[in-house]
Amino acid sequence: MLAMYGRTWAVFLGGILLLQVLQLAVGLDNGLALKPPMGWMSWERFRCLTDCQLYPDECISEKLFSRHADLLVSEGYAAAGYEYVIIDDCWLEKNRDNDTQKLVPDKKRFPSGLNALSDHIHEKGLKFGLYQDYGTNTCAGYPGVIKHMQLDAQTFADWDVDYVKLDGCYANISDMATGYPEFGRLLNETGRPMVYSCSWPAYQEDAGEMPDYESLKKHCNLWRNWDDIDDSLESLMQIMDYFAKNQDRIQPHGGPGHWNDPDMLLLGNYGLSYDQSRLQMAIWAIMAAPLIMSNDLAAVRPEIKDILQNRAVIAVDQDELGIQGRRVLSRNQIEVWQRPITPVAKSGHHSYAVAFVSRRDDGAPYRIPFTVKELGLTNPKGYRVQDLYNARNKLGVFQSESQFITRVNPNGVTFYKFTAL
């Protein structure tokens, strides 16, 4: 009897193991990125600067990434949750190794090799990210993964990579819906956990094709939906408008392990004012977006650093429910964006993060009233309200019929947490 029970139990466990293997073969299911990834990436700020004689502190090199790993820790960003150091394009030699066909880091700019850089990043308690492209070439013309996908996936694992961004230049868009999942499967097969950032929706949308978000959720941890962000308010607003206008088809698919990605944070660069920097940080938190900085951390001004490390705003972005927010209202060029977050009241009513975004440029802060009910908040017990950019500013308790008044700077934001009572 015991022997029979043991055999039955072994068969049962074997079946469970087989199901798990089949899941890995069919979908990504890697258990990673249960909250939006946070970190630092080179592209928006440092682009494809490769002349290290002319730009010794800015060129894409092991020095740049080692320095930023150090700064993430010493400047308090790692303690705030920023953990990935991600190399974007232009890190490669122009040709693969003749004998092995492996990818080769630029020998002049990465003389120690990527294992040494990966070791340094990991010794800092951080994680290492790397860029490649599902095409014959990367966007800047370096070798892509096509015809070498299994080799490249294993090479990334051998380099102890923790995060892979796969772009889509020089590729057939019609192949992406099968090729991207295949590369994700190959990453999984290496046995090394690697967050997988896909780009195929951005290329499909540009070509007028509708992305298959159900497939994306199965095969990618995050994905770029639309255009690259540039260092300007105009670019930021265009991305916000894209997500707002398409939110009915995009928003439901973001969540733990699979996130919509509106692209990098611009804070700390040249294009955004202080108020505009607060605006991007607030809306990225509302959208449950990855918080990936791209700046020179050594040059970030203290007031911008305070925004990037604002624990209350980061907590909204990293909220455990993982529900992406929406733009719910626009009045007099003031937009209302809100996101359900924890804690959830016993009645089942969520707390909310609510951002009021000014699209006005008329020179003075604009005062505007709303009832709490107009904001989409209907908890009969009411809400305790706190200013997320000023922890000392606790505004009291508001009922659904209460009037809530805010005053927003031109091209700025006010950002509040409404805690359900």
Active-site residues, by number, are 167, 228
Which two structure tokens, joined as six digits, stand for 123?
A: 């010794």
- Radius of gyration of the CA atoms of the chain, in A: 23
The answer to whether the CB of 157 falls within 8 A of the CB of 190 is yes
92-to-99, 107, 141, 146, 324 alpha-carbon distances in Å: 17, 8, 10, 15, 36
Phi, psi of 68 (to 5 degrees): -75, -25
Using alpha carbons, select from 41, 117, 29, 131 the residue that is nearest to residue 83.
41
* Gap between the Cα atoms of 28 and 183, Å rounded: 10
Residue 161, CA distances (Å) to 117, 157, 190, 207 in order: 10, 6, 11, 31
Query: Measured between alpha carbons, how far is 297 from 301 in angstroms, rounded to an integer?
Result: 9
Beta strands in 62-112 (DSSP E): 84-87
